[in-house]
Structure 1
Amino acid sequence: MRIVVSGGGTGGHIYPALALIREIKKQVKEAEFLYIGTEQGLESTLVKREEIPFKTVHITGFKRKISPENLKTVWRFISGVSKSKAILREFKADVVIGTGGYVCGPVVYAASKMGIPTIIHEQNSVPGLTNKFLSKYVDKVATCFEEAASFFPKEKVVLTGNPRASEVLNQDGIKGRLSVGLKLKDPCVLIVGGSRGARPINDAVIAALPSLGKKPYQVLYVTGEAHYESVKKEVALVGNPSNVIIKPFVHNMPEVLTNMDLTVARAGATTLSELTSLGIPSILIPSPYVTNNHQEKNAQSLTTNGAAKMLLEKELDGTKLVEEIDTIMLQKEVLHNMKAASKKLGMPDAAIRLYDVMKEVVNKRKQQK
């Protein structure tokens, strides 16, 4: 089977794609892959690192306000469709899967017009413009949140979860804790603002350090590499409690995440899929700087189901952060109930589910022929 995967721009689109590819390789040894992205996007680095054949098309997104740039985007889309058709024809693709980002537009659209089976995967509770557009042309739409279904043709939607969720299972949590200097017996809270960190979260944690130092739990605080040096200077002024370990970045996050009791984080789709797969409760601080405010909608989904508490960035300060953490960590029944609710939402078999959807689409198209 010859499979084309396309997704780009952010890790939220790329990591699920790579997780799916790894799962299919386990299931179908002879499967061949081609990844189509952009040269400027993060995918050009991450995909090449995985030694997956990689081709590019040039595309940009539409401006939400009237702009001359949109005319250029239309032209780039038309050119991208033409180039995508040539790539797909040369590769002899059996199926095309889009995991989000502008690059999926011309690639998946071209495949649908060529009669190649197509699937898009939507990670968020509120889809972007590209997936809304493509949903009219693809065979199936795989989703991670039930709330996303209302944006797509009902008959095409399948709830699969995020393939990334499958990759955090069966990790060595003890090894993960020891690798970052955490004690094995004491409960632990992970505070992280994403791979690059988040200044408002860092400010709140620094203000909270004196109070956190008196707690019966330990804290792993990941600043993001871009903020680490400035955070260290500020921490030097207030003091670093012995139960708070500060790191710029954690390279083995799946291992470390496995043994956490509570996580304070943004509400990106990949993060939430990992947390629910492991049954970890969370305090979610949605980024207000994302399209359609989708992180707040993602967080609301978990909050409604009792798996998380949401703290808006505009309400965030050191005192409020500690209060929210204590409400969960110092009440065993609350912590237990939130863990159970998180686990109930998890879809650890998401990669297999999406692979099964792919097989169904391909087989159905073969039967129609």
Structure 2
Amino acid sequence: MKIVVSGGGTGGHIYPALALIREIQKENNDAEFLYIGTKNGLESKLVSRENIPFQSIHITGFKRKISFENVKTIFRFLKGVRDSKRILKEFNPDIVIGTGGYVCGPVVYAATQLHIPTIVHEQNSVPGLTNKFLSRYVNKVAICFDEAKEYFPSDKVVFTGNPRASEVIGKDGIKGRLSTGLSTTKPTVLIFGGSRGARPINEAVVKAFSALAEKPYQILYITGDVHFEDVKKEIELIGNPKNVVIKPFVHNMPEVLAGIDLVVSRAGATTIAEITSLGIPSILVPSPYVTNNHQEKNARSLSDNGAAELLLEKDLNHKSLVNHIDRILLNQDTLKEMKIKAKKIGVPDSASRLYSVMKQLINVKQR
């Protein structure tokens, strides 16, 4: 089986793609992969670390406002389609899957023109422009939130969940705690703002240090590399509570999550996939700066079902943060109920579900 994967721009598009590849490699030793992305995108760095063959095309995204740059993008798209066709003909894949980001546009569209089976995977509750465009041409659209159904042709939609969810299952939580210097016995909160961190969350946490220092639980606080030095300066002035472990970044997040009782974070699709598959209650602070406010809609899909508490950024401060944490973590009945509800939403077998859809399309093509 030969598979082309394309996805780029953000980790939210790339990590699910890599999780899917790893799942397929476990099930099929003979599978061959080619990842098509952009040369300067994050995908080029992340994919190369996995030793997956990588080729690039040049493409940019459309501006949402009228701009001459969009005219240039149309020409780049057409050239990207030509380049993608050349690459696809050379590799001769059995299927092509796009996991989001503008690079998927020409790659997946080229595959449809060559009559290669195609899938797009939409991680969010509100899809991006590229996936909405491609949904008219592909064979299947895999979704992670029921709310996304309305944006796509109903006969093409299949619910698979996010492949990243499969990667956090079965990890050693004790090992995860020890790797970050946490106690193995205390209730534990993980606070983070995504891979780069989030300034509003950081500001609220630092101001909450004096209150958190008195709590019977411990906190793993991940600032994000970009914000770590600023947070460090604040810590030098006010001191670091003994029950707060501060890190700029962790590279073993699946392992760390396995030892966590409560998460405070943004509401990115990958984070939601991970915490629900593990049944971890959460306090979600969606970023208001994303396209179509999709993070708030992601978050409401959990909060409306009792699996999370929604804390809008405009309402976030050190007092509201501590109050939300206490209300969940210091009440065992609330914590237990939220765990059950989060677990109901999770799709831990999402990678194998998506792989199953891929195999079905390949089998239909081969008949």
- TM-score (norm: length of structure 2): 0.99
**Contact 1:95–1:118 at 8 Å: present in 2 too?**
yes
**Contact 1:19–1:167 at 8 Å: present in 2 too?**
yes
Aligned to 1:174: 174
Aligned to 1:270: 270
CA distance in 2, matches of 1:91, 1:108: 14
CA distance in 2, matches of 1:345, 1:165: 11
AA aligned to 1:266 is: R
Mapping of residues 33-48 of structure 1, within 5 Å: 33-48=33-48
Q: Is 2:244 the counterpart of 1:279? A: no
Mapping of residues 139-288 of structure 1, within 5 Å: 139-288=139-288
Give how far 1:281 is off: 0.5
Percent of pairs identical after alignment?
69
Question: Is 241-250 or 130-139 further displaced after alignment?
Answer: 241-250
AA aligned to 2:40 is: Q
CA distance in 2, matches of 1:58, 1:290: 24
Give how far 1:217 is off: 0.7
Aligned to 1:92: 92
Q: Deviations over 1:19-58 (max 9, x none)?
A: 1011111111111110000001100100111111111111
**Contact 1:284–1:308 at 8 Å: present in 2 too?**
yes
Aligned to 2:339: 339
**Aligned with 1:227: secondary structure?**
helix
CA distance in 2, matches of 1:288, 1:248: 23
Aligned to 2:16: 16
AA aligned to 1:355 is: Y
**Contact 1:122–1:144 at 8 Å: present in 2 too?**
yes
AA aligned to 1:101 is: G
CA distance in 2, matches of 1:114, 1:74: 20
Aligned to 1:296: 296
Mapping of residues 300-319 of structure 1, within 5 Å: 300-319=300-319
Give how far 1:248 is off: 1.1
AA aligned to 2:143 is: T
CA distance in 2, matches of 1:251, 1:115: 39
CA distance in 1, matches of 2:229, 2:52: 35
AA aligned to 1:165 is: A
AA aligned to 2:166 is: S
AA aligned to 2:311 is: L
Q: Deviations over 1:183-229 (max 9, x none)?
A: 11110000011111111101000110100111111111111111111
**Aligned with 1:183: secondary structure?**
coil
AA aligned to 2:23 is: E
CA distance in 2, matches of 1:171, 1:72: 47
Q: Calculate the aligned-residue CA RMSD, in Å.
A: 0.7
Give how far 1:366 is off: 2.1
CA distance in 2, matches of 1:22, 1:249: 23
AA aligned to 1:243 is: N
Aligned to 1:83: 83
Aligned to 1:68: 68
**Contact 1:210–1:239 at 8 Å: present in 2 too?**
no
CA distance in 2, matches of 1:47, 1:215: 41
**Contact 1:258–1:278 at 8 Å: present in 2 too?**
yes
CA distance in 2, matches of 1:98, 1:2: 15
State the aligned residue count: 367
AA aligned to 1:354 is: L
- TM-score (norm: length of structure 1): 0.98
Unmatched segments (≥5 aa) in structure 1: none
CA distance in 2, matches of 1:63, 1:232: 37
Unmatched segments (≥5 aa) in structure 2: none
AA aligned to 2:5 is: V
**Aligned with 1:34: secondary structure?**
strand
CA distance in 2, matches of 1:28, 1:188: 38
AA aligned to 1:306 is: G
**Aligned with 2:121: secondary structure?**
strand
CA distance in 1, matches of 2:8, 2:75: 19
Q: Is 2:27 the counterpart of 1:5? A: no
CA distance in 2, matches of 1:206, 1:92: 53
